[in-house]
Amino acid sequence: MDFHLFRMQLERGIDHVNNMYVALDFPSWEETESFISIHRLQGVPVKVGMELFYREGPDVIKRLKEDQHPIFLDLKLHDIPTTVFRAMRNLAELDIDLVNVHALGGVEMMKQAKAGLRSGARTDHETKLIAVTILTSFDKKTMNQELLLPGEIAEHAVHLAKMAKQSEVDGVVCSVHEAVGIKAICGQDFITVTPGIRLEASGRDDQKRVATPYYAREYHADRIVIGRSITEAENPREAYERAIKEWSNETKL
């Protein structure tokens, strides 16, 4: 993809550009800033996880917003309802796009998370709340034998999504493989955010339920998160553009 065409798409708000988040799984702001600058990824949607946020705190969000990055803050809150309410009330002030909790925290916790976001909002911008169903690092064996949850992953993912919907949560984090079933139950407007995205030539690393951007698009994921396929690629800029082409169904690659 031509760089100028990419910038034009970004400025026009084309869905497949704005809904693919690059996971900034770096240990410090210095490394994060260097990666973005060297590979000309200013302004692309990004996911900030625990590693970077716990090191840099809210300042990293402010710095990324200065560069016009849409932000998914991936902290997976899971605690008693009152604690989650208070945490979300503070996070609401960051004015980001997405933030999440664990659906396993239960209906009341998710309701309080949503209430905290509304209570702490300082602008008209709405931060979307999503709930993690079953981590993509889990497979059926792990879920059955370690968590002692019988049955299939898809069954539990759909059940947790129904709980999230009941709690007025905006969507869920799930694998691509569960997205269609979740939308069938919770509706097409219910957001599915799918991590575990890999380019065809990339390894699985510690993810079990993975998919390519093309596959994610075919199975109606709304937003995807892609990390090491880009950040550890020989040419991250080129890998990003390949992922965008797949995600937009321009080519299967």
Among all residues, which ones are annotated catalytic?
76
Gyration radius of the chain's alpha carbons: 17
How far apart CA 181 and CA 154 sit, in angstroms, is: 8
Amino acid at 11: E
CA-based end-to-end distance of the chain: 13
Say which amino acid occupies 188: Q
